[in-house]
Amino acid sequence: MLLGGGAAVFVTNIIVFGICYWTIDLGGPLGRAGTDARHPASRYPDFVFPQSEKPDLAPSGWQPRFPDYLYLSFTNVVAFSPTDTMPLTPRAKGLMAVQSVVALSTLVLVIARAVNVLR
C-alpha cells in the first residue's frame, strides 16, 4: 500500500510537470505551431534541448514534442537536476526546483513511513 502510493505520486509528479513544461515552453504547443494568435510563440525558449544547439543531431525543422518534455520531467525527478535539457528562464528553473522538492519530499516521507512500519 505504501509503495503503491509512493509510486502513484512519483508517476503523477512526472506527468503533471511534463505537461507544465510542454505548456510553457515557447508559448505552448499552439504557440510553437503558430496556430493561436492569442498565444504567439515566444522569441526565447524556456528550455534548450541538445537538438536546438546542434541541428545536425536532428531532422530539419525539429521541434520538441510532448515526449521530450516528459523525458525532461522524468530526468529531473530521478536526478534532482537537469540532465541534457537546460532551463533558461526563471519560471522554468522555479518549476524544476518545485518538482525536485516534491520528489525529494515524497521519497523522504515514504522512507520515513517504511522505517516506522518496520520498527
Domain range list for the chain? 2-118
CATH class assigned to 2-118: mainly alpha
Q: What is the pTM of this model?
A: 0.85
The residues facing 87 across adjacent strands are 47
Q: How confident is the model at residue 57 (pLDDT cuts 50, 70, 90)?
A: confident
Contact of 93 with 87, CB cutoff 8 Å: yes
List of residues 6+ apart from 64 with CB closer than 8 A: 25, 47, 49, 51, 52
pLDDT tens column, 58-97: 898 888 999 999 999 999 999 877 788 999 999 999 999 9
Average pLDDT of the chain, as a whole number: 87
Please give the helix or strand (H or E) that residue 78 lies within, else none.
helix 66-79
Q: How does DSSP classify residue 87? A: E
